[in-house]
Structure 1
Amino acid sequence: MRLLKRFCAIFLSVMLVMSLGIVTAFAAAKTGSLTLKDSHGNVMSNSTFDAYQIISWNSGNMAVNGTFKGIIKNALGITSSDDADIMRAIGNLRDKGTAAAKFAADVKAGILSMNPKAVTTAQSKDGKFSSLPYGYYLIVQTSVGEADGTALSDPILVFIDKAETEVKVKVSAANIEKKIEVPDPADSKNKIYVDSNTAAVGDKVNYRSLSTIPVYPDDATNITYKITDTLSAGLVFDADTPINVDVVDVAKDGSITVVKNLKEATDYTISYKDNGQTFVISMNGANSDSNLIAWGKEGYRIRVTYSAILGKGAALANVNFGSTGNPNSVKLEYTANLSNIRETDYDTVITYTNKLVIVKTDTLGNRLKGAVFELYRNGVKVDTQTTGDDGIAVFDKIQQGHYVLTEVKAPAGYNKMNDIVFDVEAYNSGSLRIPNTKFEIVKHGNAEVAASYKAIWVVKGECTNAIIVDNCNGTLTTTIKNSSFKLPGSGGMGTTLFTVLGVMLISAAGTMFVVYSRKRKSAAR
């Protein structure tokens, strides 16, 4: 808009000079350079542009390019072919942003309907033009470099009237962000969105992705816009919670306003692959092109929400316990320009879980069967487990929280142990307590993420020496022995002592009975 105002000012000056019959100081046509930069001030060296001079400025005279005069008149909606009338109509657009943008788009469409290469004034393959004759230009971006945005910019109107001119091009970067919805640790009534969390087997994990929409030109067609979401093997889609897709407006403070709830089959389709672990949302409705163009210009985003169950059914065998998490990744595939489809990197979030392995032994290390344990987290019963022939019981529903482990039934002949009270915490690294929003995951794909981004589990409490964190895999183990929890060991004197005492009492009673009987018989005689 600033360049359009400058054109208007110069046009008026030229008209004044010409009306007064003053000879200009221009001895010959002058040229200048044009550099195109992105919003960060970087030269768009990886993009290509075509320049079309629609008005020339030569030796103080301004003239409309006859090749484009009909196109310009149609774009302005005027019938006059007089150059001064045409330039005056262009100048009137200086305070009308929408009208100026429409004018540029209409002129571009008219030129592209011709043989554009035959009428191009200059071409740039590095974001720079040199030696452009002074005048008014339409600049059309023809391809997008990897670092220069993700969609062709709208056509640009620029006036070249000095040695060097710079223009910042509004480029559009598409991206997608994945988050896990969890209760706010500071206030459980509120929700926060994080990159990592902990959950127990059987828990529901709520996911949200937000993807930006490139700013496409009005004439863009056959736009590709696909969201691919992949769960790792330990996660299963929650059939009771549908996949929701909608268009949202995200404010600077992060608050979200729903613009439109999208409908499957009408606005998008969903397909599944990888045995149902991956779904692909494709924006391919009847009006998808016009919708994406409009939403992109408004700065709206596409939001996808759904839930998964950790370790549901057969997936339990694939759950990563301890330090290795259960990732969920998403990527965006989109049209970058008229002939190029591009993909974002994966954005990944991770859910960690753990398990507590109980080993029940006597003082000699022999495994004991039949011990029944109950585990409580934050005052709520988690599960009940019984040691098998191997003396082992496993609680596979461990996440962060305050725990009490109780032995409700001891093996025959043994006393129950004292309760073990402990707290479980998890960290990503150093002081990054899970859940957190600062765990930036830069690896691509679920396998690399699961291997590279691990949780550090910490056990605290009065009996922390009873719960051991495995240094290799991070799982929790406790070995319950007589020496630790005052349980009679197997093979101890508990039952033997009672047996011996019983035999002695019976023997004494029998002896006394015999003696007493003999005395009675002697007295009777």
Structure 2
Amino acid sequence: MKKLKRVLAVLLTAIMTLAMATTAFAAENQGSLKVTVNQGNTLNGQTIKVYKLFDLTVSGSHYAYTVNEQYKAMIATALGQPGTATNEELYQAISNLKGEAIQKFADDFTTAALNDQVAETQASGKLGDVTEHTFNNLDFGYYLVYQTGTKEIQSSLVSVNKLEGAEVKLKGQAPSIEKTADKETVEIGEVVTYTITGVIPDTTGYEQYAYKIHDTLTDGLDFVKDANGTVVDAPNNYLVSVQIGETPATEQKAQLSGNGNRTMLLDLSQWIRDNQGSKGQTFTVKYYAKVNSAAVVETKNSAKLEYGNDPHNTTMTTPSEAKTPTYPVQIHKFARGEEQGYLAGATFRLYKTEQDAKDNTNAIAVTGSVGSYTVAEDQKNTKTYDMVSVGNAVTEGINLKLNGLKAGDYWLVETEAPDGYNGITAPIKITIAKSADGDVNNWTISKDSENVSDKIIKIENTTGTILPGTGGMGTILFTVVGIALVLIVAASFVISRRKRA
């Protein structure tokens, strides 16, 4: 029994020693691989896959590569080698690749692997909003790194051959869109042309692929059918223009929904699949919106992209905003000496040119009530041009407001002063300027070329005694009375001298 126990103890010690040696050997032949996203991108919603193309053994400064039998056929095809190529031939073929040729090999292998649905060596799973991911405990080897869901296949090759691991910076870019407008600032009633720009992504190997554009307008904008502002009559069949590069544009059907039909869904999933011959090329989507009376300075809208090869687990991009601000003219009308008060009954008109202001023609048509107005959406058929101040504050410091102007020069004319007050005879030049820094709230306004820091145009009226005019008694009465007084004084002087004589 004692001998048996000794034998078992020796065996157990040997097994433990062997296990420790195996663990140490395994650790010495494994490393890590850190994958870092390229500048300006994230890995949000992406999956990183790695394929071990060659096994690797390291002895000092000596390296021995052995092709991975799982991928041998695809490696040979991507290299233009026969299926009977030996390990040494495949290794030498890769060693001889330079520049674009090595990138082509990586992309061709990836395409083949995706089309044949060959399993990867390891995968990260769908990542969150991160910029890097590390694969740990990778066996030494020559690896291909592929980022799924990119605009085009751009795989990377890297050798994991040391304990401290390796690092690769991804080349691919995740799908994204950019929204722009054809106007920097807008006036109520104008039509804005919006353009969404994207790149047709590579869907190689995907049985399904979702590519949907979601666009949301603010309350100050309405979708319209064309540049003439034609009202949308079929929200479920809203046609937009889609164009690849310089090729002729085609129409795609979008759906409008939500409050005032201001939300658009454009599903281009099938269109993307049908145009894989143009993958990697830029495409544009064009459509129109009209500025309505609810527009404010921060009038803007945004579009975001939903994409992914799993329709039930897609990624949504950060919204791309197109800002088209519209501005107000805010007036404080008051009487001299009453700067804190509000003078009612002053009538104004606004013009786009100084000559129109002098000629009293082509005034800007307005709608609204006394004290608060907006630029009329229909400038041709609206006949109201007068704006009248009120005796109280419409908002703090303002008793007359006109909303809905784009940046530019305007001329304000007081066409009628309140009873008992003298009016302003010369047109007042008002200049509205958009901020150069892109902040829509940093706009400026000036009065006769002087900046108005609080954005409130202050206009003072004066009052005084009635001055004489022509056609009445006027100065004639005063002249007659004056002459009579002179004659009386002269006659009195003569009589007095006679008495003394």
Give the structure-2-normalised TM-score.
0.60
1:356, CA displacement in angstroms? 5.1
- Show structure 1 runs of 5+ residues with no match: 1-27, 145-149, 183-193, 249-257, 427-433, 441-452, 502-525
2:254 to 270, 280, 293: 270
Q: Write the mapping of 1:31-430 to structure 2, written as runs, cut at 5 A.
A: 31-40=30-39, 49-58=48-57, 62-73=65-76, 75=78, 76=80, 78-80=82-84, 82-91=86-95, 93-94=97-98, 96-97=101-102, 99-109=104-114, 112-113=117-118, 116=119, 120=121, 127-130=133-136, 132-141=138-147, 154-163=154-163, 164-182=165-183, 194=184, 197=185, 199-211=186-198, 216=202, 218-241=204-227, 245-247=241-243, 258-265=245-252, 269-274=253-258, 275-285=260-270, 287-289=271-273, 291=275, 294-296=278-280, 298=281, 300=282, 302-311=283-292, 316=293, 318-320=294-296, 324-335=297-308, 340-348=313-321, 349-355=323-329, 373-379=348-354, 380=356, 381-383=362-364, 385-386=385-386, 395-396=402-403, 398-408=405-415, 417-426=424-433
Partners of 1:48 and 1:389 lie apart in 2 by 63
1:295, CA displacement in angstroms? 3.4
- The share of aligned pairs that are identical, in percent, is 23
Partners of 2:44 and 2:386 lie apart in 1 by 68
Partners of 1:70 and 1:138 lie apart in 2 by 15
1:18 is aligned to: none
Partners of 2:73 and 2:113 lie apart in 1 by 13
1:25 is aligned to: none
1:351, CA displacement in angstroms? 0.9
Contact 1:362 1:368 in 2 (8 A): no
Please give the secondary structure, in 1, of the residue aligned with 2:261. Answer: coil
Q: For each residue in 1:383-425, what CA deviation from the matched residue of structure 2 results, as whole angstroms up to 9, or x when unmatched?
A: 3634679689865564444443334567899876412423233
Please give the secondary structure, in 2, of the residue aligned with 1:112. Answer: coil
Please give the secondary structure, in 2, of the residue aligned with 1:39. Answer: coil
Q: For each residue in 1:477-519, what CA deviation from the matched residue of structure 2 results, as whole angstroms up to 9, or x when unmatched?
A: 64x6443xx7x8xxx7999x97999xxxxxxxxxxxxxxxxxx
Contact 1:207 1:306 in 2 (8 A): yes
Contact 1:244 1:305 in 2 (8 A): yes
Describe the shift of the 1:385–1:34 C-alpha distance in structure 2 as closer, same or farther (beyond 3 A).
Answer: closer
Partners of 2:278 and 2:98 lie apart in 1 by 24
Contact 2:347 2:388 in 1 (8 A): no
Residue identity in the other structure for 2:438: F
1:459 to 446, 452, 470: 446
Residue identity in the other structure for 2:158: V
Partners of 1:366 and 1:154 lie apart in 2 by 68
Give the structure-1-normalised TM-score.
0.57
1:46, CA displacement in angstroms? 9.5
Contact 1:406 1:420 in 2 (8 A): yes
Residue identity in the other structure for 1:284: S
Please give the secondary structure, in 1, of the residue aligned with 2:33. Answer: strand
Partners of 2:308 and 2:92 lie apart in 1 by 38
Partners of 2:134 and 2:304 lie apart in 1 by 33
Q: Which has the larger radius of gyration?
A: 2
1:282, CA displacement in angstroms? 2.4
1:236, CA displacement in angstroms? 2.9
Describe the shift of the 1:261–1:344 C-alpha distance in structure 2 as closer, same or farther (beyond 3 A).
Answer: farther
Please give the secondary structure, in 2, of the residue aligned with 1:385. Answer: coil
1:272, CA displacement in angstroms? 0.9
Partners of 1:37 and 1:205 lie apart in 2 by 40
Contact 2:342 2:390 in 1 (8 A): no
Partners of 1:155 and 1:358 lie apart in 2 by 64
Please give the secondary structure, in 2, of the residue aligned with 1:170. Answer: coil
Residue identity in the other structure for 1:178: K
Residue identity in the other structure for 1:172: Q
Residue identity in the other structure for 2:284: R
Residue identity in the other structure for 1:354: P
Partners of 2:28 and 2:156 lie apart in 1 by 23
Contact 1:55 1:135 in 2 (8 A): yes
Residue identity in the other structure for 1:419: A
1:130, CA displacement in angstroms? 4.6
Describe the shift of the 1:98–1:45 C-alpha distance in structure 2 as closer, same or farther (beyond 3 A).
Answer: closer
1:238, CA displacement in angstroms? 4.5
1:88, CA displacement in angstroms? 4.5
Q: For each residue in 1:199-251, what CA deviation from the matched residue of structure 2 results, as whole angstroms up to 9, or x when unmatched?
A: 433334444443455x5462234322222222222223354418764456xxx
Partners of 2:214 and 2:43 lie apart in 1 by 29
Residue identity in the other structure for 1:406: V
Partners of 2:468 and 2:97 lie apart in 1 by 101
Describe the shift of the 1:375–1:131 C-alpha distance in structure 2 as closer, same or farther (beyond 3 A).
Answer: closer
